[in-house]
Structure 1
Amino acid sequence: MSNNEIVFVTGNANKLKEVQSILAQDANSNTKTIHLINEALDLEEVQDIDLNAIALAKCKQAVSALGKGKPVFVEDTALRFDEFNGLPGAYIKWFVKSMGLEKIVKMLESFENKNAEAVTTICFADSKGEYHFFQGITKGKIVSSRGPTTFGWDSIFEPLESRDLTYAEMSKDAKNAISHRGKAFAQFKEYLYQNEL
């Protein structure tokens, strides 16, 4: 593997594009270039409410599949409803798959509290085999679907700092500036540019 090459384990093409965009932003002030390689490994997802535990288990599987010494990272995203004490959390993708967005919104219909938080947890295994965590959180609320429904639950999550737009209604740059994924990857990017991989 060449210098500054890291593997991102995801089978989600939209997520890959978003992460490439975030890691490439504003890189002109750095002397180092990060080369992102994608591997779509089929990783078993541990059933847990601890987001770090889920990400760590996936990252350990990735290291095992790719071989030690290759810098690799995984990311896991959760959508936590305040009213449900954090659920559906990391299970949100299965809720979307089995219920659809409209029924997820209906889950909160009888509750006044529609507040939620979107969370991205990154686990990075460096070339020495050490694990590092980065987490971004964006608070918002669950709303009826607005905007394109091509990217998970973006059309039902309205961040507090979005001026009444759902993620799906925002431009990519505007979303990346305030999103849970953008915040987590900003921390990760800073770490990558300041440390040996």
Structure 2
Amino acid sequence: MHLVLATRNAGKVAELEARLAGLDVDLVSAGSLDDAPEVEEDADTLRGNAEKKARALWAHTGLPSLADDTGLEVDALDGAPGVRSARYAGEDADDEANRRKLLAELAGAPTRTARFRTALAYVDGDGVRFFDGVCEGLIATEESGTGGFGYDALFRPTDGDGRTFAQMGAGEKNRISHRGRALDAFAAWLETGERGGE
């Protein structure tokens, strides 16, 4: 089976390849397509953004397509930044600006509990199916580590040993991460040979 992955991120492609090793799946990343559509992530939910991207690739290629969207939900901020995690400090903000804003808004907060949530959307001729992954944790008071991206230098997963995602190697992070859990659910579904929408 050919599967188009809605990303230009080589790290995400490598992670999915590792998760699907042993299955009869040939991955094609959107980055390898000359004319892959750019999709504006303007839905109100993570699932909505993931579905929008997967449907655009399905319409463009006619091949089964997989897309994701991820958000950081901070309890002290009533679930923000959530679906706007990548644009938290503004439409053109980078990861560093988003982290600075998060730290500023949490200054003095009595609780720093949070979770990363990933929604995967798989689209084929039968419709859409969703796979979700969640990783609970805490927001640190300062950045630690140089790996990863986004909020990784601030997020300490509950299932970890006190280090941030940015202090972990990719393999270690992927075993416990929100995206890893969603990909595990997707891989398990593929292994069963089932097809069809949710």
- Alpha-carbon displacement from aligned partner over 1:142-165 (angstroms, at most 9, x marks no partner): 112111155222111110111101
Contact 1:22–1:176 (Cα < 8 Å) also in 2: no
Contact 1:10–1:74 (Cα < 8 Å) also in 2: yes
- Alpha-carbon displacement from aligned partner over 1:64-84 (angstroms, at most 9, x marks no partner): 2223xx111101111111112
Change (3 A) 1:129 1:46: farther
Partner of residue 110 from structure 1, selected from 108, 111, 114? 108
Measured in 1, the distance between the counterparts of 2:98 and 2:127 equals 38
Partner of residue 10 from structure 2, selected from 1, 9, 13? 13
Measured in 1, the distance between the counterparts of 2:156 and 2:148 equals 16
* Paired positions, count: 184
- Alpha-carbon displacement from aligned partner over 1:42-81 (angstroms, at most 9, x marks no partner): 1121231x222222222222222223xx111101111111
Matched, 1:92 2:85: yes
The residue aligned with 1:83 is 76
Measured in 1, the distance between the counterparts of 2:99 and 2:15 equals 21
Measured in 1, the distance between the counterparts of 2:98 and 2:47 equals 26
Partner of residue 121 from structure 1, selected from 109, 119, 122? 119
Task: Look up the equivalent residue of 1:130 and give its one-letter code.
Answer: G
Measured in 2, the distance between the counterparts of 1:191 and 1:182 equals 14
Matched, 1:73 2:66: yes
TM-score by length of 2: 0.84
TM-score by length of 1: 0.85
Unpaired runs of 5+ residues, structure 1, are: none
SS in 1 for 2:159: helix
Measured in 2, the distance between the counterparts of 1:21 and 1:158 equals 24
Unpaired runs of 5+ residues, structure 2, are: none
Task: Look up the equivalent residue of 1:34 and give its one-letter code.
Answer: V
Partner of residue 136 from structure 1, selected from 133, 138, 148? 133
Change (3 A) 1:56 1:71: same
Contact 2:39–2:52 (Cα < 8 Å) also in 1: no
Measured in 2, the distance between the counterparts of 1:116 and 1:89 equals 10
- Structure 1 segments, 4+ long, off by >3 Å, are none
More helix by share: 1
Q: For residues 9-48 of structure 1, what are the structure 2 equivalents within 5 Å?
A: 9-24=6-21, 27=22, 32-40=23-31, 41=36, 42-48=38-44
Measured in 2, the distance between the counterparts of 1:166 and 1:132 equals 31
Measured in 1, the distance between the counterparts of 2:129 and 2:172 equals 27
Aligned identity (percent) is 29
The residue aligned with 1:184 is 182
The residue aligned with 2:52 is 57
1:91 CA drift (Å): 1.1
SS in 2 for 1:162: coil
| TM-align CA RMSD | 1.9
